Amino acid sequence: MLHYPGGGPPDPPNDGTGLFTIGELAKATGLTVRTIRYWSDEGVLTPVTRSAGGYRLYDAESFARLELIRTLRELGLGLGHVRAVLSGEQTVAEVADAHVAALDAQIRSLKVTRAVLSTVARRGSNAEEMTLMNRLARLSAAERQRIVDDFVEEIFEGLDTADPWIRERTRTLGVALPDEPGPEQVDAWVELAELLQDPGFRAAMRRMIEFNAADRGPDTPAGASQWFFRRLVDVVGAARERGVTPEAPEADAVLTEVFGEGTDRVAVLRRIDLGNEVARYRELVNIIKGAPAPPRYQEEFGWVVAALKAWPGR
């Protein structure tokens, strides 16, 4: 129910004829003549007749209609929606629901804009970088997915024995930028998008996938890599808790437990020593997801790389 100052809507003017000019409506409602004439020209406030001099005339029902138009316009509805309500094509509730959805989309857009500007201010970005940042931040989910899919297609190309679990995990990580991202998430997504398109990073990830595919046969079940990662974390984590350093003699037995006897450790090192890019990739994914900290296995993999580099048999 609408509430008006003083308890009710203003009364229409009364000159005995029951008909009112635009000027009289304007005086009674506080609207401008120009506004009422515009709404009349747009067909949402149709005059009931015209005077002998050609002036538009309205009745009491027009006055009530004018109050409804003003209320809907003050709530931000466009004339198209106003016209739909007045014609009975849509109810006020239906229009309000549609307008809420539109406002939600506008609010999300404004929050992305705010996040981008905050990132620009913090990084001291130039105009070119700001343009790129804004474009990447506003990509739709499908457009973001295409960037990731192109990356996945290149690093897995021809490696049919690579674990499908790794493929799907790589395809889905880092894509879902929140509807209301913070500046740090926008910054992380922009950096991730740039990283995914970097030839050096793609080559490093390709080596990792090649390492995975080389250890698998056509009958190896999907998800076996997940088991290997967990086992590596458990074995190396236990060694680290015992105080075994990568340079210690005991590290040799740990590497054997992880990779097995007779493994070409030089080849293993060449494939898994991927540098800081992969670690940064994982950090960025966690920032986008809102995760509190990087995955624990980053430290364990770092230990393995250090142990392989320190292994005397190199």
State the Cα–Cα distance between residues 153 and 155, nearest whole angstrom. Answer: 6
- Residue 245 pLDDT: 92
Residue holding tokens 């398109």? 197
Residue 20 is classified by DSSP as B
Q: Can you tell me whether residue 56 is helix, strand or coil?
A: strand
The one-letter amino acid code at 270 reads R
Q: Would you state the pLDDT for residue 140?
A: 67
Q: Which residues pair with 20 in a beta bridge?
A: 58
Q: How many CB atoms are located within 10 Å of the residue 77 CB?
A: 21
| Residue numbers of the chain with a pLDDT score lower than 50 | 1-9
CA neighbor of 236 nearest in space, from 299, 294, 278, 283: 299
**In this structure, what token pair is assigned to residue 8?**
């009710």
What is the model's pTM?
A: 0.49
Say if CB 277 and CB 200 are below 8 A apart.
yes
- Widest CA span in the chain: 109
Q: What are phi and psi of 164, to 5 degrees?
A: -60, -25
Q: How far is CA 9 from the centre of its chain?
A: 45
> What 8-state DSSP symbol labels residue 5?
G
Query: What crossing angle do the helices spanning 164-172 and 199-214 adopt, rounded to 10°?
Result: 150
State residue 101 phi and psi, 5-degree precision.
-60, -40
CA distance 27 to 47: 17
E runs forming strands in 9-113: 49-50, 56-57
| 155-161, long-range: CB < 8 A, 24+ apart | 155/202, 155/205, 155/206, 155/209, 156/209, 159/209, 159/210, 159/212, 159/213, 160/213, 161/213, 161/216, 161/217, 161/218, 161/220
- In 209-226, which positions are buried (b, 16+ CB within 10 angstroms) versus exposed (e)? bebbbebbeeeeeeeebe
